[in-house]
Amino acid sequence: MALMITDECINCDVCEPECPNDAISMGPVIYMIDPDKCTECVGHYNEPQCQEVCPVDCIPFNPARRESREELQAKYERLQAEKQET
């Protein structure tokens, strides 16, 4: 499943540069994660990097976006292919 950022976010700016898929961006009030780009860092790292660096622990798994490791891997491969096309 993709990750999400909760309203406990303090806008510290540490998560955005850590995302290898550019899934994190500033929303109207706090940072947001695009679930179509979030692979939980599958294909890049063993653990989600945004969770690793978040000082307030406000990046849980998004229960509305349940995805298996295989689905996350397929999403990673699709994103990489799209990146190669540009």
Q: Tens of pLDDT along 23-34?
A: 999 999 999 999
What pLDDT does 86 receive? 72
- In one-letter notation, the amino acid at residue 73 is Q
- In one-letter notation, the amino acid at residue 21 is N
Distances (CA, A) of 57 to 4, 9, 84: 11, 8, 33
User: What's the predicted TM-score (pTM) here?
Assistant: 0.92
Give the C-alpha separation, 52 to 74, whole Å: 23
pLDDT beneath 50, residues of the chain: none
Average pLDDT across the chain, whole number: 96
